[in-house]
Amino acid sequence: MRPQDSVGMRRGVEIVLAPSDPLWAEEFDRVSAELLSTLPEWILSVDHVGSTSVPGLAAKPIIDISVAIPKLEDGLSLVPILEGLGFTYRPNDDLPDRHYFPRTVGGLRRHHVSLAEPDSWHRRNNLTFRNALRRDPELAGEYGALKRRLAATVGTRRLDYLNGKTGFILSVLKAEGCEPGPDYPNYYR
């Protein structure tokens, strides 16, 4: 099986979590190489974030990728290049310190790319949360159980799923010394 065959979820369907799959890391590596070869002069680093980046954690099978760029405003010049790779720019994203690009292939949402400055709230807290889960299997297990309970009850209501995870995520971030900025939507507080 190719790594990309283990990735993807249809939009507008019930939230379903897939068991952890080692092919997710391979798919991240493939997309990361694609981004680095296309935008080498713009990218400071590329990181696999989200639940697919935590070994053993069930997840929606969509690869979340955080790309550090020097200045957020310069990221707008990358829109045509990323769109040429099949990513769709979402200019009205809820989060103020990133540029967001989902990619759908064959009717399946497969990748989420966020461009952000290295010290942005979005990037720092995504990496902090990921690292906490990777470091503490018990914590990752608690998060996985919460996600399974939510997925079993929210149906297609994505915002309810996000809101249901907020308290847990914020408690982990607070314990790690990170908290969201005042411009963040409620489901990130």
Q: Where are the domains of the chain?
A: 3-188
Please give the pLDDT value at position 41. 93
CATH of segment(s) 3-188: 3.30.460.10
Phi and psi for 47 in degrees, rounded to 5? -130, 140
Q: What is the tens place of the pLDDT at every residue in 148-159?
A: 999 999 877 888
pLDDT exceeds cutoff 50 at 46: yes
Q: The tokens of 3 are what?
A: 């790594």
Give the pLDDT band of residue 25 (cuts 50, 70, 90).
very high
- Taking all residues of the chain, what is their mean pLDDT, rounded to a whole number? 89
Q: What is the tens place of the pLDDT at every residue in 103-140?
A: 999 999 999 999 999 999 889 999 999 999 999 999 99
Q: What is the pTM of this model?
A: 0.91
For the chain, where are the E strands, in sequence order?
Answer: 45-49, 63-68, 99-105, 108-116
Return the minimum-mean-pLDDT range out of 9-13, 70-74, 155-159: 9-13
Q: What angle do CA 26, 11, 126 make, to 5 degrees?
A: 50
12-28 burial, b at 16+ Cβ within 10 Å, e below that, comes to: eeebebbebbebbbebb
